[in-house]
Chains A and B, each alone.
Chain A
């Protein structure tokens, strides 16, 4: 059974810092891994999607990596801003079941 874990559960940093969010998964049989952002009271917005054959994806100040063999992904946020404050969710799409399995999220606060 696929399990997705995110560490840390919460993170508070001063504005301008570079930071890394971690995601681990137990089953390497995945189609892809996705990072989402969730603002309070809002739905999920997809940030980056990494196919199982890829190692990383970049979008602006965000860079996500995938190491399928070790079951790990990281989301790197450069030069953090208060507007980056949100909950970040990692999800893997199982190639066995086709389901999207989510981690519990990391709540990020960037202080001005």
Chain B
């Protein structure tokens, strides 16, 4: 079974530029998550999708971050414009559903550096 795929793996941009990350979850997984992991910290949930609907985006900085999951499969996360403090690893995860008992499967992450 293929795992969660993410691209690109690394991205370096200058502040005020735009950037987009892509995630393809495990086939059949209804729930998809985007996390932000700043160096030295644990991951923090940005947004959670159930199929193609948003379940929780309370910690997404909506003035600059946006995410979509068209057709309930793969997803993109966009930052526009980027700030220095957005430098982090962006992790995508998926799970079969969100009933509390199951684990989340994480992708390798995209490492973003904003200069």
User: Do A and B come from the same complex?
Assistant: yes
A4 proximal to B (CB < 8 A): yes
A31, B103: Cβ atoms closer than 8 Å: no
B42, A43: Cβ atoms closer than 8 Å: no
How far apart sit A36 and B45, CA to CA, in the bound complex (Å)? 16
Q: Which residues of B contact A28 (CB under 8 A)?
A: none
A103 proximal to B (CB < 8 A): yes
Q: Which residues of B contact A31 (CB under 8 A)?
A: 100-101
Q: Which residues of A contact B100 (CB under 8 A)?
A: 31-32, 93, 95, 98
Residue ranges of A at the interface with B (Cβ–Cβ < 8 Å): 4, 31-32, 34, 36, 41-46, 49, 51, 89, 91, 93, 95, 97-100, 102-105
4 closest cross-chain pairs (CB), A and B: A102-B42, A31-B100, A43-B106, A44-B106
B44 proximal to A (CB < 8 A): yes
- Tell me whether chain A's interface is mostly helix, strand or loop, or mixed: strand
Q: How many residues of B contact A (CB 8 A)?
A: 24
B32 proximal to A (CB < 8 A): no
Smallest CB–CB gap between A59 and chain B, Å?
13
Chain B residues 33-63 with CB under 8 Å of chain A are 33, 40-45, 48, 55-56
Once A31-B100, A98-B98 are accepted as A-B contacts, the answer to whether A44 and B91 lie under 8 Å apart by CB is: yes
Smallest CB–CB gap between A40 and chain B, Å?
11
How far apart sit A4 and B111, CA to CA, in the bound complex (Å)? 24
